Chain A
Amino acid sequence: MALLQLDKATIRFGGLTAVSELDLAIGNTDLIGLIGPNGAGKTTAFNLITGVYQPTSGQISFNGQSIVGSKPYLITARGIARTFQNIRLFASLSVFDNVRAVFHLHLRGDVRHALWRGRGYHEEEASIANRVIELLEIFQLAKYRDEPAKSLSYGDQRRLEIVRALAAQPKLLLLDEPAAGMNATEKVELTRLIRFIRDKFQISILLVEHDMQLVMGICERIAVLDYGVKIAEGTPDEVRRNPKVIAAYLGE
């Protein structure tokens, strides 16, 4: 059974059908790419999965349960975390706190814990701090732990956003154009990073990306959207040769 299953998911904004009857299945530890020309509905598909938009019709299920109608924060709690096309960090919080804020998902105690400040609270906060540092160290961000997130370089901010998403301990990670604005060297680095995350954390990754080289290089399967319709799906080689895909990108 697939981890994430989209079944004829459709969303209309007035007269415009942004995503039309999209079928997509993502299994455990899959690394799947979602590509398409500008305005094809890739980010909209992301927003459907994360609950920002509700599908007009169709079904979306995660781990065998429908997530249609669920609020975004509940979907994250179930195990889908995402990054954003234009970085959205908690700018005034430190690097450490950006990641720590997400750990409230794994808190055992509630607010009363924080107010009483007993031993249980301090132990839990200490263990969270350890886990945050551990994550930051994996991604070489621990040295910036007390810097405000906004002071990081662009590449580091992108990486921090991924770390923050991983702090939610997701089963599925959605990356929305992670290579946007990166130079060639950074892209090579990113490719390695994405593979590493999949192997290290044993999670599935769905990648929306413009950069063909990157997508073709790391994805095992690629789905192509054009005008909200899935026109092709298959291995990178199959997709590359598909005449419909060539037409969508280059015209007939």
Chain B
Amino acid sequence: MNLNLRHAKTGLLGALALCFLVTLFSKFINPYWLYILYDIGINIILAVSLNLINGYTGQFSLGHAGFMAVGAYTAGVITNQFGQLNAFASGGVFLGALLAGGLMAAVAGLLVGIPTLRLKGDYLAIVTLGFGEIIRVILQNVDSVGGARGYSVMHGWTNFFWTFGLAAVTVYVIASLVNSTYGRGFIAVHDDEIAAEAMGINTTKYKVSAFVIGAFFAGIAGGLYAHSKQYITPGGFGFMQSIAFVVMVILGGMGNTVGVILAAILLTLLPEGLRFLAGVQQIPGVAKMYPLSWVGDTRMIIYSLLLIVLMLTRPQGLFAFKKRQR
């Protein structure tokens, strides 16, 4: 499924305006759902940016949560230097902090991108996995950001505008990039590196760029996450988080931006949607001797089962409707 990009810039501006409008009315939205919406926006940024690395360029990265952590801590430390600010100043500081977080993550992406020149497939996955773990362990041992206890972020500046506005920017940047003549090089690297090199494509540059760009957006998502939860711990950026993003990319269909967005939404909603199970106490009308309180505990088991069923039935990606075309 291809995005129609003829009016991409108009679409982006429209999306930003819409996000702004929704933000004005966000106090009418139930806060529980509002925070889930933030999670959705953040996960869209993470999944779409990881899709550039894993999907389009075909480099198996398992370190996306590491990039996210770099961005989260960087942005959090920066905004914590400021006291209460008016709406306008806070917006500026927040944007600056998010960009700084993105840039720091991009530097980390560059560091990870360099080994990718030599490694492929499983080997690369292991290196990126190791990288993510290194970030986590370092954060766990830096006392000035709270170590393993975690770090409080003072300002809850993340709102609908920032999350979905930046998600729109991410989608715009990555879709425009990949669909340009320049960006076909990413997919060429994915399909056949030797042929790509022989066709004048600087494969090294493309692979490293994919990591740097992907990491940049993961860093921004990390900043948004930090200012939404207002409390971050190194453990929150572990290996399992990285896996969750990889699942979104695979479920959406590798290198299918629309599919990956939908998968990010679905996989954020699914565990929340299954929360009703916790309310199941007994079957109405059946005697109390059959308590059903254990049903609530099966939430994550059912979630995992659903994932397995989805993967078995739609290995080409949940949202690949027609023949895969890119």
Interface size class of A (residues with CB under 8 A): 35 or more
Residues B180 and A114 in contact, CB atoms below 8 Å apart: yes
Q: Which of A23-31, A91-99, A244-252 contacts B (4 or more CB under 8 A)?
A: A91-99
**A90 contacts across to B, CB distance below 8 A:** 187-188, 191-192, 195-196
A residues less than 8 Å from B188 (CB atoms) = 90, 93, 101
* Inter-subunit contact B176/A117 (CB<8 Å): yes
- Residues of chain A within 8 A (CB-CB) of B284 are none
CB-CB under 8 A for A50 and B195, given A73-B203, A93-B187, A148-B325: no
Give chain B residues whose Cβ lies under 8 Å from the Cβ of A81.
198-200
Give bound CA distance, A100 to B188, whole Å.
11
Q: Determine if A168 and B324 form an interchain contact, defined as CB atoms under 8 angstroms apart.
A: no
Please name the residue on chain B nearest to A92 by beta carbon.
Answer: B191
Nearest CB in chain B to that of A76: its residue: B200
Task: Say yes or no for B118: interface residue by CB 8 A criterion.
Answer: no
A168 touching B199 by the CB < 8 A rule?
Answer: yes
Q: Write the nearest CB–CB distance from B103 to chain A, whole angstroms.
A: 17
What chain B residues lie within 8 Å of A113 (beta carbons)?
180, 182
Contacts of A91 in B (CB 8 A): 191-192
B323 in contact (CB, < 8 A): yes
Q: CB < 8 Å: which of B8, B181, B195, B323 contacts A117? A: B8
B200 touching A114, Cβ below 8 Å: no
Closest approach, in angstroms, between the C-beta of A48 and any C-beta of chain B? Answer: 14
Output the least CB separation between A146 and chain B (Å).
7
A146 contacts B184, C-beta separation under 8 Å? no
Residues of A within 8 A of B9 (CB): 117
A174 → chain B closest CB, angstroms: 9
Give Cα distance in the complex from A215 to B255, angstroms. 42
Cβ contacts under 8 Å, B196 to chain A: 90, 101
Interface residues of chain B, those whose CB is within 8 Å of chain A, are 5, 8-9, 173, 176-177, 180-185, 187-188, 190-192, 194-203, 255, 323-326
12 A-B contact pairs sorted by A residue (CB < 8 Å): A71-B197, A73-B197, A84-B194, A90-B188, A90-B195, A90-B196, A101-B184, A104-B184, A114-B180, A114-B183, A115-B173, A117-B176
